[in-house]
Amino acid sequence: MVISVIGVGYLGAVHAAAMAELGHEVIGLDIDADRIAALQAGRAPFHEPGFEEILRRGLRSGRLRFTTDYAELEPAEVHFLGLGTPQRKDGFGADLSHLESALDSLREVLAARGGAPTLVVGKSTVPAGTARRLSDQVEQIEGVQLLWNPEFLREGFAVQDTLEPDRLVYGLREPEGSQAEAAIAMLDAVYAALLAAGVPRLVMGYETAELVKASANAFLATKISFINAIAEMCEAVGGDVADVARAIGMDDRIGAKFLRAGVGFGGGCLPKDIRAFIASAEEHGVGEALGFLREVDLINERRRARTVELAGEMLGGVEGRRITVLGAAFKPDSDDVRDS
């Protein structure tokens, strides 16, 4: 199939190269000309294990290329949206302006398809209600359907997670009916190799799909803040949080993952995603339901200050000391220093 990926950052660039790896013809687009030049030259603009390899293989095969020109996307039957959704400057909510401006630029390209079946597939993490609002605009163009297909990849494992995901989630305006079936069949064709390998595919409404992603990140953030809160308690009473985590992690209802006390979570996703989730709940009049996420955020913020305090305690003060931090990114095998 001919596919475009709009916004080739951490998510989009990996998605574009992975789709070429699956045998599709892929055009990646970004407004960042330097990024496009690097990708087109086979250079990864960020560190991600295995990415440069599939990028180069895609370029060599002739199935993968990059552009800054929306007009070149016209042949694509499926457009993936990999735009950033950062925290707004004036509050906790998500800034959707990148998505909106990309869709504005795409409108002409979609209209030029002359009614041929075309799928726009959102992969960005967005507040519930976003897909429906965007689809009201995009689906006015004949032949076009919008599907929301949230992404769960982990930086450091992005290539593997894109090619062998735990699950595929399809969010649709109406999950049933002939229109839905046509859209599902098109996305199934894109992911045919994954589906044949047994990756589960879950079909649901837009809002549910959006909430799956927000809930997954909220749960993971909560797990990290939970063990960090227990670390505060351990410090107060003289316990060892590593032993607590090891022992409770052996209960498979709890699980050992994301249960390592430390400096807290960072990166381009969890911090802004839980805040956007809080803001969205408040907008919908159910702020209390997600009030605990404020606490999760505060525990996380406290870890940063506590880390500096601990360093000070160990060094007899940090003033005037020269300190090396090994590993500035928010996690191993990534160079992502957003909120790290």
Ligand X SMILES: NC(=O)c1ccc[n+]([C@@H]2O[C@H](COP(=O)([O-])OP(=O)(O)OC[C@H]3O[C@@H](n4cnc5c(N)ncnc54)[C@H](O)[C@@H]3O)[C@@H](O)[C@H]2O)c1
Contacts with ligand X: how many residues (CB under 6 A)? 26
Which residue is catalytic, options 269, 270, 293, 299? Answer: 269
CB of 305 to ligand X, least distance (A): 26
Please give the DSSP secondary-structure letter assigned to residue 73: G
Quick check: 28 binds ligand X (CB under 6 A)? no
Binding mask 72-91 for ligand X (x = CB under 6 A): ----------xxxx------
Binding to ligand X in span 6-25, by CB under 6 A: 6-12
Quick check: 205 binds ligand X (CB under 6 A)? no
Whose CA is closest to 271, among 253, 297, 251?
297
CB of 241 to ligand X, least distance (A): 27
Rounded to 5 degrees, what angle do the CA atoms 87, 89, 90 make? 110
Which long-range contacts link 267-270 to residues 24+ away (Cβ below 8 Å)? 267/155, 267/330, 267/331, 267/334, 267/336, 267/338, 267/339, 267/340, 268/10, 268/84, 268/86, 268/336, 268/338, 268/339, 269/125, 269/217, 270/217, 270/220, 270/221, 270/224
Out of 19, 102, 231, 278, the only residue in the binding site for ligand X (CB under 6 A) is: 102
Out of 25, 30, 77, 210, the only residue in the binding site for ligand X (CB under 6 A) is: 30
Residue 95 backbone phi and psi in degrees, to 5: -85, 110
Contact (CB, 8 A) for 254 and 260: no
Quick check: 162 binds ligand X (CB under 6 A)? no
In whole angstroms, give the CA distance from residue 15 to residue 199.
Answer: 16
Out of 61, 69, 75, 101, the only residue in the binding site for ligand X (CB under 6 A) is: 101
CB of 238 to ligand X, least distance (A): 38
Rounded to 5 degrees, what angle do the CA atoms 142, 146, 147 make? 150
Out of 77, 151, 210, 297, the only residue in the binding site for ligand X (CB under 6 A) is: 151
Quick check: 31 binds ligand X (CB under 6 A)? yes
Contact (CB, 8 A) for 94 and 86: yes
Quick check: 269 binds ligand X (CB under 6 A)? yes
CB of 131 to ligand X, least distance (A): 13
Q: Is 269 a catalytic residue?
A: yes
Whose CA is closest to 121, among 206, 181, 200?
206
Query: For residues 121 and 234, which CB has a smaller minimum distance to ligand X in the complex?
Result: 121
Quick check: 48 binds ligand X (CB under 6 A)? no
Rounded to 5 degrees, what angle do the CA atoms 20, 22, 27 make? 20
Out of 21, 77, 155, 210, the only residue in the binding site for ligand X (CB under 6 A) is: 155
Whose CA is closest to 42, among 29, 23, 60?
60
Helix, strand or coil for residue 5? strand
CB of 8 to ligand X, least distance (A): 6
CB of 106 to ligand X, least distance (A): 9
Beta-carbon contacts of 235 under 8 Å, excluding residues fewer than 6 positions away, are none
Q: Which stretch binds ligand X (CB under 6 A): 97-105, 109-117, 254-262, 323-331?
A: 97-105
Give the pair of three-digit tokens for residue 308.
């500096």
CB of 119 to ligand X, least distance (A): 18
- Bridge-partner residues for 265, per DSSP? none
Q: Which stretch binds ligand X (CB under 6 A): 4-12, 47-55, 193-201, 225-233?
A: 4-12
Query: For residues 119 and 245, which CB has a smaller minimum distance to ligand X in the complex?
Result: 119
Catalytic residues: 269
**Given the rule CB under 6 A, which residues bind ligand X?**
6-12, 29-32, 35, 82-85, 98, 101-102, 124-125, 151, 153, 155, 268-269
